[in-house]
Amino acid sequence: MGGFALTVTQLNRYVRSLLEGDGNLVSVFVTGEISNFKNHYQSGHLYFSLKDDASLVKCVMFRQDAARLKFKPQDGMKVICRGRVSLYERDGQYQYYVEDMQPDGAGSLALAFEQLKLKLQKEGLFDEKLKRPLPELPQRIAVVTSDTGAAVRDIISILNRRYPLCEVVLCPVQVQGAGAAESMIGALERLNGIDNIDIIIIGRGGGSAEDLWAFNDENLARAIRRTKAPVISAVGHETDYTICDFVADLRAPTPSAAAELAVPDIARVKDRVNIAYLSILNHVTNKVEALYKRLNDLSQRRVLKNPEYIFDQYILKCDYLSERLNKAFVQIIYENNARFVRLSAALDALSPLKVLSRGYSVVYKDDRIAGSVKELSEKDIVDIRFLDGKANCTVNYIKAEAWVKEEQYEKE
């Protein structure tokens, strides 16, 4: 190539062939800190850089590889990557094509678990206020688990032994591997369409973190929150914790423990019923005895032995009231008569006829009493009223008394 000029494309292609032909760069592990992370949601590719204290390398992770990640990469996270080194011809920049990625320190499953747990916790899905109480005496319990595992046999056995009055509805599902979460979500959705489901138990027996991973599915957690009946999560052993345990209304350390928490012991229920029965019987007996004693006491009363006694009492009371009424009536008549006499005397004293009987008379002009000579004029026709009749007269002359002052007339 020494005597020929290469195009840029040829140069980049040549360098790319050198990088891809180096066996040391075909599959190389690189550790570093993620920076400039971008998730290209349309294509599904991940673009980021890996850096240490002194250097940085551009990285890309294609969709098919990114889909296998069990955690979400983010800036500042230290990771160990496996991939190949090549050159992006268009930009002439070499890149690290990541095919697998693991957190540096914590495992990918543990990291994914913590990431989802933190996300759902911030949304409030684990809030204690959302936890629903279990019914004390459930009539129908649904069990969502594998129908071939030991867990389902233990649950059904304990439920039948402790509380045989309860009906068990088995919902067989896949609890491990691809499609397990979707299988359990479908079962929960079907149970929402069934009436009278009092409790749902969801879980499985023990296993590795990978075996239990379906119970850490985000969609499954949200499906549990949407159920009409309260949910008991019973996944693995006592030391195993899944997202289902946090979002469920109650966590049981094992499937067997879930069955014991779901129903009461029938023997204790019988004891409680017997105690309640004896208490009610004792209360009713005491009540009946008290009522019988009261009835016996009442039957000895005079009024029941001699009913005429009641009428005698009422007759005496009526006589007494009648006498009081008569006295009150007489008193009212007496007082009103005396008042009438007083008012008649007062009225008689004020009567004009009384005045006329003493020799006085009254002068009328135009049917009105003339109280002063000032109201009269010469030639006026007036009527003079006496006790025994009246006279029609003509005024010939008027003379006022000398002792009546002029201003007295003005006032009148």
CATH code of the domain in which 31 resides: 2.40.50.140
Neighbours of 132 (CB within 10 A): 14
Q: 219-231 burial, b if ≥16 CB within 10 A, otherwise e? A: ebbebbbebebbb
Cα–Cα distance, 85 to 29 (Å, whole number): 10
The per-residue pLDDT for 409 is 46
| Residues 92 and 120 both lie in one domain | no
| Residues 157 and 241 both lie in one domain | yes
The per-residue pLDDT for 186 is 95
Q: Evaluate whether residue 320 is within a structural domain.
A: no
- Give the residue from 356, 357, 379 showing the smallest Cα distance to 369: 356
Q: Evaluate whether residue 280 is within a structural domain.
A: no
Q: Evaluate whether residue 302 is within a structural domain.
A: no
Strand segments, DSSP code E, in 89-198 are 93-103, 140-145, 167-172
| Residues 146 and 253 both lie in one domain | yes
The per-residue pLDDT for 410 is 47
The per-residue pLDDT for 277 is 92
* 194, 184 contact by CB (below 8 A): no
Q: What is the pTM of this model?
A: 0.54
**Residues of the chain whose pLDDT is less than 50?**
407-412
Neighbours of 12 (CB within 10 A): 19
Q: Evaluate whether residue 400 is within a structural domain.
A: yes
Helix (H, G, I), strand (E, B) or coil at 235: strand
- Amino acid type, 16: R
pLDDT tens digits, residue range 269-303? 898 889 999 999 999 999 999 999 888 887 777 76
Handedness of CA 388, 391, 397, 400 (dihedral sign): positive
Q: How many CA atoms lie within 13 A of 211 on its CB side?
A: 11
The per-residue pLDDT for 105 is 66
| Residues 83 and 118 both lie in one domain | no
| Residues 190 and 88 both lie in one domain | no
Q: CA torsion 341→342→345→347, rounded to 10°? A: -110
Contacts of 275 (CB under 8 A, 6+ apart): none
* 175, 149 contact by CB (below 8 A): yes
* 117, 241 contact by CB (below 8 A): no
The per-residue pLDDT for 138 is 95
Cα–Cα distance, 45 to 69 (Å, whole number): 12
The per-residue pLDDT for 68 is 85
| Residues 153 and 246 both lie in one domain | yes
- Give the residue from 103, 92, 94 showing the smallest Cα distance to 34: 103
Q: Evaluate whether residue 233 is within a structural domain.
A: yes
Q: Evaluate whether residue 407 is within a structural domain.
A: yes
| Residues 178 and 232 both lie in one domain | yes
Phi, psi of 106 (to 5 degrees): -75, 150
The per-residue pLDDT for 133 is 95
Cα–Cα distance, 351 to 347 (Å, whole number): 6
Domain that holds residue 366: 355-411
Q: 95-126 burial, b if ≥16 CB within 10 A, otherwise e? A: bbebeebbbeeeebbebbbeebbeebeeeebb
The per-residue pLDDT for 2 is 53
Instruction: Indicate the DSSP class of residue 184.
Output: H
Q: What's the domain count of the chain?
A: 3
